[in-house]
Structure 1
Amino acid sequence: MKWRGRRGSRNIEDRRGRGGGAGAIGGVGLLAVLAIGYFLGIDVTPLLQEGGLGQTGEVELTEADMRAGEFVSVTLADTEEVWADIFRRQVGRAYDPAVLVLFKGTTSSPCGGASGATGPFYCPGDNKVYLDTGFFTTLERRMGAGGDFAAAYVVAHEIAHHVQNELGILGQANAVRQRASTAQSNAISVRIELQADCFSGIWAAHAQERFGSLERGDVAEAMNAAKQIGDDTLQRNAGRVPMPHTFTHGTSEQRQRWFAAGFESGDLNACDTFAADTL
């Protein structure tokens, strides 16, 4: 992905110097604990806090941290330009961009505590994406999804949830989930996440058209990332038999297919997972 030397976003809230370092848990041990959380679908924040994560004090930013911050800023700027254009042409109104919060260790949000254990997420309570860039390391080393465009896919997916919120989709879906059974709520969550994957594909297609930023192998990196974070793959990697009624994001095949649908069409109408008879 061609990103160096390009414009970054002004909608970055960098909290990485405000405390919340890794404390008593070493780097390798921290990655192992995070992997447990991702694979089992468990928020291991309390365990990390007991081990020292979340301590106050200054956090040292490494060269890798700074580079990751610059990368996220450029990627976020790309999403802003692309979605502003798509909203203008396909929705007929202006796009109001999200703020992306960079943190290291732990931070707070209206949707609850944020940590490396919770993974990146979008909070509709304040229209912000929360991202510990250490997740990119876990994505590559523990999940086998390396590459800068795999990381860009992660950012684009979370911004896609903001797009859903802007379109009124996310609020309606979450309102239904609150009244549904656990199994029904999970099924709705899968449709939300697959649509975000499809929107990510739309972004990738328009980013290539607008900036020429994709390089050979970039789409394959995104497709591999979608595969590695499919519910069935995560459960198998955790030594469990995949249980579809517990899925909240979709299978590897579904995530890849919906990303491809968005990339190939570039059209919001191609991403209506809620109207699809089969996913």
Structure 2
Amino acid sequence: MVRFNPKARLDRSRVRDAGRGGGGGTGGGLGGGGMRLPIPTGKGGIGSLVGVILVVVVTLLLGGNPLSGGGGDGGLGNVYSPSRLSDQQQGSERYAGCTTGEDANNSQDCARVAIENSLTDYWDAELGGKFRPEQAMVTFTGSVNTGCGAASSAVGPFYCPSDETIYLDTTFFDDVLEGQLGGPDGSFVEFYVLAHEYGHHISNLLGYMGQVRSQDTGPQSDGVRLELQADCYAGLWANHATTTEDASGNKLILDLTQDDITEAIDAAKAVGDDYIQKRSGGRVNEEAWTHGSSEQRRKWFMIGYQQGSLQACDTFAADRV
């Protein structure tokens, strides 16, 4: 189990809670495009793909190419910014008690703050001048408005490239990942998901999102390569997680165990396209894949974790993923 350094100081400035309805979105849409984990139908009315199931996808399937950066309002100049949340929506109460690593050891909310801090510190060191942190990591309940459009809990955790923000309704882990998909239960499951969504932010900064120009699906498609890159980046962060520090140079994470890595791998498998297709009672249709198979997701997480280099995660340069 991940153990945080009790002496570490947490930076809450980018972690916010939009509360219930956080802006009034009620649909499952994300018309402007967000990078999401696939989830099955049944929660919030997400439709199935070819009548089979699940697949809430990268926005390439929703028309246009939102990965170029344009938000639901048609451009970057006017997009929603999490900083525009009202004072009540800023989540001061939910995260107010998160000040130290000891708080992170005792609270999943505070652990979320610590993981965001760790991800930010790692990627700052890795990318140098190419790095800027995500605008925010926003938790919400029910629905939220974003630069990619209104979203409900049904879409699962996602990254919106238009406002460079990660959004999640934390009930996803118990209700969907564990309850509907039979995925693992453990704190590192959420940390893997957060690292995956942060990985989309890194792909955005490095220009890989701009390389996704087709709306094709399938195991070798650009969209799948982008998703597998985020898994690889999650593994890359996990490899270096115990080296990350707070602003004063204190280690943020003292210990990350093999059990934690196993949880991440099991979670990656549980959101594989083939696994979800089988779980939902349909046949495996490779050409409908948008995020990659369980084996692809496991493979690329482990490439990042075992090789520990940014270059190893260039899924777009690989002949086959």
Give 2:204's aligned residue. 165
Q: Which residue of 212, 226, 231 maps to 1:192?
A: 226
User: What CA RMSD, in Å, does the superposition of the two structures yield over aligned residues?
Assistant: 3.1
Give 2:73's aligned residue. none
Aligned residue identity for 2:55? G
Mapped to 2, the partners of 1:200 and 1:19 lie a distance apart of 27
Alpha-carbon displacement from aligned partner over 1:233-264 (angstroms, at most 9, x marks no partner): 00000001111111000000000000000001
Q: Which has the higher contact order (CA 8 A, sep 6+)?
A: 2
Contact 1:120-1:130 at 8 Å conserved across structures: yes
5 Å-filtered alignment, 1:101-120, equals 101-120=138-157
Q: Does 1:273 align with 2:320?
A: no
TM superposition shift of 1:185: 11
Give 2:265's aligned residue. 223
Contact 2:219-2:289 at 8 Å conserved across structures: no
Q: Does 1:33 align with 2:42?
A: yes
Aligned residues: percent identity? 37
Mapped to 2, the partners of 1:199 and 1:116 lie a distance apart of 25
TM superposition shift of 1:124: 0.8
Give 2:189's aligned residue. 150
Give 1:47's aligned residue. none
Mapped to 1, the partners of 2:259 and 2:291 lie a distance apart of 24
Q: Unaligned 5+ residue runs, structure 1?
A: 24-30, 44-57
TM-score normalized with structure 2 length: 0.69
5 Å-filtered alignment, 1:90-101, equals 93-98=129-134, 99-101=136-138
Q: Which residue of 264, 269, 274 maps to 2:306?
A: 264
Mapped to 2, the partners of 1:16 and 1:3 lie a distance apart of 26
Q: Does 1:74 align with 2:114?
A: yes
TM-score normalized with structure 1 length: 0.78
TM superposition shift of 1:32: 8.4
Q: Does 1:10 align with 2:10?
A: no
Count how many residue pairs are aligned between Structure 1 and Structure 2: 246
Q: Unaligned 5+ residue runs, structure 2?
A: 27-39, 58-87, 99-106, 245-252
Mapped to 1, the partners of 2:184 and 2:11 lie a distance apart of 24
Mapped to 2, the partners of 1:186 and 1:253 lie a distance apart of 13
Contact 1:20-1:105 at 8 Å conserved across structures: no
Aligned residue identity for 2:173? F
Contact 1:197-1:258 at 8 Å conserved across structures: yes
Q: Which residue of 108, 125, 131 maps to 1:85?
A: 125
